[in-house]
């Protein structure tokens, strides 16, 4: 079962904030986030291993609620370079299953 991501797409102005949600019906041991720019390979953003854990890198952070099997990715003061498709994936014994992705468009 694929994790479910929301929203499917979002358009922002540069400097605005965005939240991308990811939920799973199966137990997750971890949540991974990747970003794929148009025509490029997906690139790793971060892994969250513990329930309730929050991690961040510059203005991109994420949280993982292990009890609810949910994760959220927070993009603060978005930049043009943040445009792309964001994928969450749940880590477990049977490997990684990716969500369908959230398309993020940042306009100047």
CB of 15: closest distance to other proteins in angstroms?
A: 28
With contact defined as beta carbons under 8 Å apart, do 47 and 96 qualify? no
Spatial neighbors of 100 by CB under 8 A, at least 6 apart, are 2, 5, 8
Judged by CB under 8 A, the stretch of 12-20, 29-37, 59-67, 70-78 that binds other proteins is: 29-37
Any idea which residue has 């990747």 for tokens?
Answer: 34
Q: State which of residues 12, 21, 47, 61 lies at the interface with other proteins (CB under 8 A).
A: 47
Q: State which of residues 40, 57, 67, 108 lies at the interface with other proteins (CB under 8 A).
A: 40
Spatial neighbors of 97 by CB under 8 A, at least 6 apart, are 1, 2, 3, 89, 90
Which residues contact other proteins (rule: CB under 8 A)? 2, 29-30, 32, 34, 40-44, 47, 49, 87, 89, 91-101
């Amino acid at each position: 079962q694929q994790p479910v991501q929301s929203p499917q797409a979002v358009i922002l102005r540069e400097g605005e904030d965005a939240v991308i949600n990811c939920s799973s019906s199966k137990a997750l041991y971890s949540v991974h986030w990747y970003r794929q720019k148009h025509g490029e390979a997906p690139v790793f953003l971060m892994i969250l291993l513990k329930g309730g854990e929050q991690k961040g890198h510059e203005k991109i952070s994420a949280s993982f609620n292990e009890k609810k099997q949910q994760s959220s990715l927070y993009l603060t003061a978005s930049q043009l370079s943040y445009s792309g498709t964001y994928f969450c994936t749940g880590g477990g014994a049977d490997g990684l299953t990716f969500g369908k992705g959230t398309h993020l468009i940042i306009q100047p």
